[in-house]
C-alpha cells in the first residue's frame, strides 16, 4: 500500500457555486482533507497497518488508536464525498438505483426527507449516509469521521452517498444554517456516480 495520497479533486474549486462556495471547497480540500491524509500516514508509518487498505483497517478500527480511526475516516469519507458531487448535478436518479430507493423508502421524496433529517439532526460533527445493507438501501448517520464500514458503526453497510455536516463544510457560506446547506447540497449530487457505486456492489 505505502503512503496514502490526496486524491485529485474531480472539478475546480468554484465548480459547485453557488451551492458550495469556492473558498470553502479550497480550504476543505487542501487543508482538512490533506490534514487527514498527513495525520493518517504519520499514525500508521512503521506499524503493521502501513500496508493495509483503509477498508481492511476499518474492519478492526476499534482495536487501533484514535488517530487511526479519526484520520483514516477523514481520508475515506472525503474521498467519497468529492466524487458524489458535480457541477449541474441534482435531479433524481433513474434505473436500478431509483427502483431500489422506491422499494426501500416508498418514493424519492420520502428518501430525501429521511436523508435530510439524518443530516440535520446529527448532533455536533458527522455524516449522513445512504448505504447498501444486505442488498437493500438504508439511511444512517455517524459521528465525527466514523463511517458505516467501521466495526464501531451502529448501522453497518456500504456507503454510496455521503454528506459532510461538519461545520467546516459549510460555515463560511451558511454559518449556523445547516438545514439551508443540506437543502442546497441536493443541487450538486452526482447521481450517475451514486448509481455506479450502487451497481458495482455484488
Flag whether pLDDT at 1 surpasses 80. Answer: no
pLDDT digits (tens, 9 = 90+) for 172-186: 999 999 999 999 999
Q: What is the mean pLDDT of residues 8-16?
A: 98
Flag whether pLDDT at 115 surpasses 90. Answer: yes
pTM: predicted TM-score of the whole model, two decimal places: 0.97
Phi, psi of 54 (to 5 degrees): -60, -40
C-alpha angle with apex 92: 193 to 146, nearest 5 degrees? 50
The Cα-based distances of 108 to 1, 27, 112, 129, 174 in angstroms read: 39, 32, 6, 15, 26
The two counts, helices (H) then strands (E), for the chain are 9, 3
- Give the pLDDT of residue 53: 97
H-state helical runs in the chain: 22-27, 34-44, 54-59, 66-83, 95-105, 108-121, 171-174, 178-185, 191-200
Grid cell listed for 196:
455506479
Q: What is the arrangement of strands in the sheet containing 158-164, beginning at the earlier edge strand?
A: 136-143, 126-133, 158-164
**pLDDT band, very low/low/confident/very high, at 2 (cuts 50, 70, 90):** low
- Give the pLDDT of residue 65: 97
Distance CA 139, CA 160 (A): 10
Grid cell listed for 201:
456492489
Q: Which residue matches cell numbers 458524489?
A: 84
Amino acid at each position: 500500500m505505502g503512503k496514502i495520497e490526496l486524491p485529485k479533486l474531480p472539478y475546480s474549486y468554484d465548480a459547485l457555486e453557488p451551492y458550495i462556495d469556492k473558498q470553502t471547497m479550497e480550504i476543505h480540500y487542501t487543508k482538512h482533507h490533506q490534514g487527514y491524509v498527513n495525520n493518517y500516514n504519520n499514525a500508521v508509518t512503521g506499524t503493521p497497518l502501513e500496508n493495509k487498505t483503509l477498508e481492511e483497517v476499518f474492519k478492526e478500527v476499534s482495536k487501533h488508536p484514535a488517530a487511526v480511526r479519526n484520520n483514516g475516516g477523514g481520508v475515506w469519507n472525503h474521498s467519497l464525498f468529492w466524487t458524489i458531487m458535480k457541477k449541474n448535478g441534482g435531479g433524481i436518479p433513474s434505473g436500478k438505483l431509483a427502483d431500489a430507493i422506491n422499494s426501500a423508502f416508498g418514493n424519492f421524496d420520502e428518501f430525501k426527507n429521511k436523508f435530510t433529517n439524518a443530516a440535520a439532526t446529527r448532533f455536533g460533527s458527522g455524516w449522513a449516509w445512504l448505504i447498501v445493507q444486505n442488498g437493500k438501501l438504508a439511511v444512517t448517520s455517524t459521528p465525527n469521521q466514523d463511517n458505516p464500514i467501521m466495526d464501531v458503526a451502529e448501522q453497518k453497510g456500504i456507503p454510496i452517498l455521503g454528506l459532510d455536516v461538519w461545520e467546516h463544510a459549510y460555515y463560511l457560506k451558511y454559518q449556523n444554517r445547516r438545514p439551508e446547506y443540506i437543502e442546497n447540497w441536493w443541487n450538486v449530487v452526482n447521481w450517475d456516480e451514486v448509481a455506479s457505486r450502487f451497481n458495482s456492489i455484488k
